[in-house]
Amino acid sequence: MSTERRSYRREPEERRREALIAAAIELMAEGGPQAATVRAIAERAGTTPGLIRHYFQSKDDLTRAAYAAMMNRMTAESEQATREARDPVEALAAFVATSLRPPVMDGERVRLWAGFLHHVRRDPAMRDVHEATYLGYRDRLQAMIASLPGNEAAEVARPLAIACNAVIDGLWLEGGTLPASFAEGEVERIGLSAVSAILGIALPALPPMPARED
């Protein structure tokens, strides 16, 4: 019988913390919140259960960090698409469209979000994370709206951002939950059309996504 023990990786502090967060998200995606036990997270991340407390005060603290990481990553992915935009209108179109196509709009992420939302209801600290990540996305959207002529004032850009964000959130939820109910690219097109109507401008369509290889 083999007596070989699992070897634990020695990595920089921040990378090890990120590995624990990634492990928690993966386990929640695979089996729901109940699958992300401290022992399972440690095993998936290649560390020991006791070491988790070096990075997180509690399991709830790790759950909050996982939620923040997932939400911030989606915002970063949407924002990354704006880097090659030639003007503010094209940047806004890229931000909206990317928010409504994979990998941002994804069934697994919607399920994870729904699981995290259960914690938001009972945990004030988790509610703070929810608010911060929501505002992080909305503030970025507001900044892009404010860059359009006539929308520079905060009292103009803010309600427009709230309205546009509500449209994007609703489409993200429905498109991620029931992808077979929509034609290819339909959710994205609806989002661009709705945001265009709210803002009174024409947002250009993005090139279609490359076909997935099976």
Cα–Cα distance for residue pair 21/176, rounded to 1 Å = 23
pTM comes to 0.85
CA distance 158 to 85: 23
Query: H-type helices in 123-207, by residue range?
Result: 124-146, 154-177, 186-199
Residue reference for tokens 């996982």: 66
Q: How far is CA 95 from the centre of its chain?
A: 13
Task: Find out whether 98 and 77 touch, Cβ atoms under 8 Å.
Answer: yes
Contact (CB, 8 A) for 198 and 163: yes
Distance of CA 31 to the CA centre of its chain: 19
For 124-177, the pLDDT digits (tens) are 999 999 999 999 999 999 999 999 999 989 999 999 999 999 999 999 999 999
**Structure confidence by residue, pLDDT tens digits, 25-67:** 999 888 887 888 999 999 999 888 888 888 898 888 999 999 9
List, in order of start, the domains of the chain with CATH numbers: 10-56 (1.10.10), 60-199 (1.10.357.10)
